[in-house]
A and B are shown apart, each in its own frame.
Chain A
Amino acid sequence: MDSKRLEKLLDLYFDQGLTESTNLELDQMIQSSEEVRLAFWKRARLHGMLRHQMQEQLGSTPIPNTEISDQTVEPASRTSQSRSRRWLIAIAAIAACLLLFVGIHTAFTDIETPPRNGTQTASNDSVAVANPDIVSEASDDERENDPSGSPRGPWVAFLRNSIDAQWGDHGTARRVGESLAAGRLTLKSGLIEFQTNRGAVVVVEGPADLDLVDDMEIRCRQGQLTVNAPPPAQGFLVRTESVDVVDLGTAFSMQVDINDDARIHVIEGEVDLVSPSDDAATSSLVNVAKRRLGKGESVEVESPGNYRDIEISDRLTNSKSRTQSITSSFDEINRRLWKHRRTEVAQDPSCLVYYDFSRETEPQTSDLILPNRAKTAADGSDGTIIGCDWTDGRWKGKHALDFKSLSDRILLSVAGRHNQLTCIVKIRVDALKEGSTPILMSRSMLARGLHWSIETTAENSSVARLVWRRNSESTASLPQEFSTKPILRDEQMGTWMQLAFVWNSDKGELQQFVDGKIVDTQWVETSGNSPTGELDLRDLQIGNGSPTVMEADMRPSNLCGRIDEFVLFGRELAPHEIQAFHNLGRSYWTSNGRDGDWEDADNWSDGISPNPGDDLYINHSGAEQAKYKAYVKANYGAIHVGSFSGQLGDLIIEGGVLNVDRNSSFMSRVGSSGGEGRLEQRGGDVRINTLQVGLDPGTKGQYVLQEGRLLLSRAPLLKKYSLSIGDNGGEGVFVISDGSIVTRQGVVLGRRGGKGAFRVLGSKADAISIGSFGAGDGEWYQGSGCTLDARIDDGGVTPIQVDEADGDGSEGANVTFCPGSLLDVGFLGESQSGSWDVMTWKGTLSDEGLQFAPTVDTEVWSFEFVDTNQSGAMDTLRVTARPPHKD
């Protein structure tokens, strides 16, 4: 066997470079020799590992783009379709199974997880789609994430409305406008309204558990329903355990509780109540109606056939007003959240244009002008409204502009050329028009201009792509074009969406987003001598591409729909920022209220207390630090202390209960993105998913646990740590002097070039249990230059226990000390002599070079790994202090 030749052929195979003849050659070699086959598998193993490893690193060690951006780019040169989305879907499917476990957990908490995507805040994590760290983000709401996804089964209804709906584990549609397949649907709280293909409108108030059998039948296990059946849906059937209700063409409401008791009230017309039969075949409508119920009548059915007339219940009769009341409170929440975010957006120094479509502040403003709310708005960047009627936006009281006719548009112009641009628009497209629906268009064929539109596909006008084009530097070249797959469907029309794109000419990369989710990433390979891919934002128009201003040979096109928010940033927003924009779910500590009081709303941005699920940002310190001692029922998404570059954040937890694990994939951070964060826990119970202390270059983070309990309840998918100290070039310190820390999985010091220290001060801490919570094993990984610091007091030192929680003897609970990892040790009080166990573990030890820190007096101190149970494997790290020399 010519091993060199074989190696070459194998590599050509893995690099997809085989020709017909080399393919044949390799085929013959493989089939004729076992040795070749073994060599194949060795190479295949390396190939697979490299793929896996590199995907893990993507996002943590960005590939320098300088070379790419310096090089070739011919305008409209070959664009490379990113596979990231496909990978996202693939891994999301895999991650979905993990959610089986996560779901178990979230069901346990009293506030449920809404469908919402992760907020991955470190800038380096922005390549979200391929970073397994945040894979589970994608899987949070896999179905929702996939705007192109069609229902899995035959669809029987579509979602008309959804008000603060907290979905359970079942149901195929999560967004208004999407189809609902036959099957189970669970709703934990909130309201949804769906309409079946036969026209029956069903309002469901959670908690509810239903089966959509088909477009004429549902089975209700629990919940409150109002059914309005127009003539085509006459005979619509709602089955329950105790009664089947047949709508004879009008409206009724009913309530089914978990004991199978059903209460039915007829609002209009009549219904028949039929006892259900055990035999499905005979339980159809041929059964004799046991009771016909007329308008205004109400009965309770505790068991089949047992009908009892009841007084009309407010709850049953007032479902419409209840719906309205819930709707208005939902609108109120939305309005508050949006106002809160509006200020943040306007203050962002990179915000070039912000049209909030608000009319409340300047009623006298001409209807022709759309003021640019950006703090740094340039002169002349207000929008000019041509045509367009004012109308309602996403909620009552929110204004929007309605685009209908060929002349309707907003004109705007921003000076300068822009290497990076993010555009986010809140839009309701009322109908997919065959051809193009313009969103944002440069006037004429302006060099470096852009054209962003929704375009139906040639084959099927009920699905559409988002298409983004950039004009070249000269009209001689074709525009660069970036087109998503067909991701927008007819059913989504008439509903509000958030569309966004992010252009980064340095990377030659364009990303497009729908409702905060990335739907496409493509890039152009650029070259050194090519123009830079700047954008010219002069003479733009929103919602129109008609030939009155475009080149005469352009087809007229205009938007039929509404827009109620539009923003341009002169920078590349990370995917998590786009998601956050969609979520409206961030609260910033402002310290404008009472002295550090968490519960004083004035201390939070816009005077609004954080909502459940929010990401909290604390970037004030000293006299402006935040203090927590409450028993807030809200479970937050994540806490970020010291997350702004160059700023210091300080949070003191004095007591109470603080839960920050509402979304399984969110990570809380103390010190990130170049900021400095300090969290001091002086008491209370704190529960956090995964904690990163000191993340990103130039960052310092410190968590000081002085008393109370800290539980780190999760680990990122496919990762083994719940606590990471010093990560991605950052510096982090974790100090424990009392109380306890319990984690679900491991502790990592010095991940991805970070520098971390773990300090145990004395013997007062009750427990340092790594991997003791839930399933999954602990792990201790200490990188080079990272420090384990143990200070001995009169009682010794609390040992760090690395547990194998499930006791299954599997591979976990291992301890690794990398070369040059440091052990620091000393006394808190008076010097003593003796031996103390600093760490114990149940797995295996991998000591590649733990050594004393330079400050340790090695005349006094020594350390050793000990096999305490004579198992043949070391299980304890022990330090010993000799009595001082007596000269």
Chain B
Amino acid sequence: MTDPTITRTRTHNEEVAALFLKHSSRIRGMILSMQPDFARADDVLQETFLTVSAKSEQFKFGTDFLSWVYQIARYKVLEDRRRSGKTTEQLSIASIESLLATGSGLLDDPQEERVEALKGCLTKLSPKARQAIELRYAREHPASEIATVLRWTVDSVYVALSRARSLLAKCINEDLRSKGVTI
């Protein structure tokens, strides 16, 4: 059973938009690495998408979509930075450039297994650690607010979040290794 209106050939712009959606999690990961503020990162993601859409004709299939988008995202992050000014929360532009020059390909590794592993590992966190992670990532609280909510000191929130991440990283790696996935 087919629906001719759905299976018709998509336009170039639609294909590019679909590619963006497909990779949106990675693109956001990339932006978050340069702009740790969630809300601002989301704004940059949105602007990146709008630019990608507007310039979709410039992209040629067969070339590296993500590196093209990363270039646009990078520009958008720097633009955002210029607008809002650098704070101590952000890395220097030199650091960002050197990071982009090496290693960002790690983000492009297949993520499905990793995400599955993460889901399992999250359940293994202690309730407090999980709560801290949830408050940070789901409710977007900065550490100071988490400290208020959990009645901890701000420093102990940083430590708890860092420990939770280390545990998750270890757990994910073990999980992937046990399934024979190259890490």
| A and B: interacting chains | yes
Cross-chain contact A18 with B150 (CB below 8 angstroms): no
On whether A775 and B7 interact (CB within 8 A), knowing A46-B168, A49-B115, A94-B21, the answer reads yes
Given the complex of chains A and B, what is the CA–CA distance between A588 and B2 in angstroms?
33
Cβ-neighbour of A16 out of B36, B99, B131 (below 8 A): B36
Cβ distance A54 to chain B, nearest Cβ, rounded Å? 4
Cβ-neighbour of A42 out of B14, B49, B169 (below 8 A): B169
Given the complex of chains A and B, what is the CA–CA distance between A57 and B94 in angstroms?
35
On whether A101 and B6 interact (CB within 8 A), knowing A13-B89, A16-B36, A48-B26, the answer reads yes
Cβ-neighbour of B133 out of A43, A50, A72 (below 8 A): A50
Cross-chain contact B150 with A67 (CB below 8 angstroms): yes
Interface membership of A833, Cβ < 8 A: no
Interface membership of A47, Cβ < 8 A: yes
Cross-chain contact B158 with A773 (CB below 8 angstroms): no
Interface membership of B166, Cβ < 8 A: yes
Cross-chain contact B106 with A63 (CB below 8 angstroms): no
Q: Interface stretch among A20-28, A452-460, A470-478, A496-504? A: A20-28
Given the complex of chains A and B, what is the CA–CA distance between A87 and B43 in angstroms?
8
Cross-chain contact A51 with B28 (CB below 8 angstroms): yes
Cβ distance B139 to chain A, nearest Cβ, rounded Å? 6
Cross-chain contact B118 with A18 (CB below 8 angstroms): no
**0/1 per residue, A39-80, Cβ < 8 Å to B?**
011111111111111110110000110011001100000101
Cross-chain contact A105 with B3 (CB below 8 angstroms): yes
Cross-chain contact A49 with B118 (CB below 8 angstroms): yes
Cross-chain contact B29 with A94 (CB below 8 angstroms): no
Given the complex of chains A and B, what is the CA–CA distance between A627 and B38 in angstroms?
49
Interface membership of B141, Cβ < 8 A: yes
**0/1 per residue, B101-119, Cβ < 8 Å to A?**
0111011010110110011
Cβ-neighbour of A772 out of B1, B118, B139, B143 (below 8 A): B1
Which A residues are in CB contact (< 8 Å) with B37?
16
**0/1 per residue, B1-30, Cβ < 8 Å to A?**
111011110110110011011001110111
Interface membership of B145, Cβ < 8 A: yes
Cross-chain contact B158 with A86 (CB below 8 angstroms): no
**0/1 per residue, B27-49, Cβ < 8 Å to A?**
01110110011110011011001
Cross-chain contact B140 with A83 (CB below 8 angstroms): yes
Cβ-neighbour of A17 out of B6, B102, B112, B143 (below 8 A): B143
Within 8 A of A (CB), among B125-168: 131, 133-143, 145, 148-151, 154, 157-158, 161-162, 165-166, 168
Cross-chain contact B99 with A30 (CB below 8 angstroms): yes
Interface membership of B122, Cβ < 8 A: yes
Interface membership of A107, Cβ < 8 A: yes
Cβ-neighbour of B119 out of A12, A34, A53 (below 8 A): A53
Cross-chain contact B148 with A71 (CB below 8 angstroms): yes
Cross-chain contact B118 with A774 (CB below 8 angstroms): no
Cross-chain contact B104 with A14 (CB below 8 angstroms): no
Which B residues are in CB contact (< 8 Å) with A72?
148, 151
Interface membership of A37, Cβ < 8 A: yes
Cβ-neighbour of A90 out of B1, B33, B46, B140 (below 8 A): B46
Interface membership of A11, Cβ < 8 A: yes
Cβ-neighbour of B32 out of A40, A44, A90, A773 (below 8 A): A44
Cβ distance A138 to chain B, nearest Cβ, rounded Å? 12
Cross-chain contact A46 with B169 (CB below 8 angstroms): yes
Cross-chain contact B133 with A54 (CB below 8 angstroms): yes
Interface membership of A8, Cβ < 8 A: yes
Given the complex of chains A and B, what is the CA–CA distance between A63 and B148 in angstroms?
16
Within 8 A of B (CB), among A747-793: 772-775
Given the complex of chains A and B, what is the CA–CA distance between A314 and B99 in angstroms?
71
For chains A and B in complex, what number of residue pairs have CB atoms within 8 angstroms? 231
Interface membership of A38, Cβ < 8 A: yes
Cross-chain contact B149 with A525 (CB below 8 angstroms): yes
Given the complex of chains A and B, what is the CA–CA distance between A783 and B98 in angstroms?
43
Cβ-neighbour of B138 out of A38, A57, A717 (below 8 A): A57
On whether A26 and B143 interact (CB within 8 A), knowing A7-B166, A54-B134, the answer reads no
Interface membership of A877, Cβ < 8 A: no
On whether A774 and B3 interact (CB within 8 A), knowing A15-B136, A52-B28, the answer reads yes
**0/1 per residue, B161-183, Cβ < 8 Å to A?**
11001101100100000000000
Interface membership of A711, Cβ < 8 A: yes
Cross-chain contact A63 with B134 (CB below 8 angstroms): yes
Which B residues are in CB contact (< 8 Å) with A67?
131, 149-150
Interface membership of A551, Cβ < 8 A: no
Given the complex of chains A and B, what is the CA–CA distance between A775 and B150 in angstroms?
46
On whether A49 and B166 interact (CB within 8 A), knowing A15-B143, A27-B95, A44-B33, the answer reads no
Given the complex of chains A and B, what is the CA–CA distance between A27 and B88 in angstroms?
11
Given the complex of chains A and B, what is the CA–CA distance between A42 and B103 in angstroms?
9
Cross-chain contact A98 with B6 (CB below 8 angstroms): no
Interface membership of A19, Cβ < 8 A: yes
Interface membership of A100, Cβ < 8 A: yes
**0/1 per residue, A74-113, Cβ < 8 Å to B?**
0000101011001101110110011011001101100000
Interface membership of A870, Cβ < 8 A: no
Given the complex of chains A and B, what is the CA–CA distance between A637 and B115 in angstroms?
33
Cross-chain contact A773 with B169 (CB below 8 angstroms): no
Which A residues are in CB contact (< 8 Å) with B8?
104
Cross-chain contact B50 with A93 (CB below 8 angstroms): yes
Which B residues are in CB contact (< 8 Å) with A52?
25, 28-29, 115
Which B residues are in CB contact (< 8 Å) with A97?
14, 17-18, 20-21, 49, 53
Which residue on B lies nearest to A717, using beta carbons?
B21
Cβ distance B125 to chain A, nearest Cβ, rounded Å? 11
Cβ distance A461 to chain B, nearest Cβ, rounded Å? 27
Cross-chain contact A23 with B20 (CB below 8 angstroms): no
Cβ distance B129 to chain A, nearest Cβ, rounded Å? 12
On whether A31 and B94 interact (CB within 8 A), knowing A89-B46, A90-B45, A104-B5, the answer reads yes
Given the complex of chains A and B, what is the CA–CA distance between A718 and B25 in angstroms?
10
Which residue, of A49, A89, A105, has the highest number of chain B Cβ atoms within 10 A? A49
Interface membership of A742, Cβ < 8 A: yes
Which A residues are in CB contact (< 8 Å) with B25?
48-49, 52
Given the complex of chains A and B, what is the CA–CA distance between A27 and B91 in angstroms?
6
Interface membership of B67, Cβ < 8 A: no
On whether A525 and B145 interact (CB within 8 A), knowing A15-B136, A48-B33, the answer reads yes
Cβ distance B75 to chain A, nearest Cβ, rounded Å? 17
On whether A63 and B26 interact (CB within 8 A), knowing A27-B95, A101-B14, A774-B6, the answer reads no
Cβ-neighbour of B99 out of A12, A40, A90 (below 8 A): A40
Which B residues are in CB contact (< 8 Å) with A55?
137-138
Cross-chain contact A12 with B149 (CB below 8 angstroms): no
Given the complex of chains A and B, what is the CA–CA distance between A26 and B90 in angstroms?
10
Which residue on A lies nearest to B117, using beta carbons?
A49
Interface membership of B92, Cβ < 8 A: yes
Interface membership of A811, Cβ < 8 A: yes
Cross-chain contact B7 with A774 (CB below 8 angstroms): yes
Given the complex of chains A and B, what is the CA–CA distance between A19 and B154 in angstroms?
13
What are 6 pairs between A and B in contact, CB < 8 Å?
Answer: A16-B142, A26-B95, A51-B38, A94-B45, A108-B3, A775-B6
Which are the 8 A-B pairs with shortest beta-carbon distances?
A48-B29, A97-B17, A54-B137, A44-B33, A90-B46, A83-B39, A11-B162, A108-B5
Given contacts A30-B99, A58-B139, A525-B145, 6 further A-B contacts (CB under 8 A): A26-B91, A50-B137, A68-B149, A94-B46, A94-B49, A108-B3
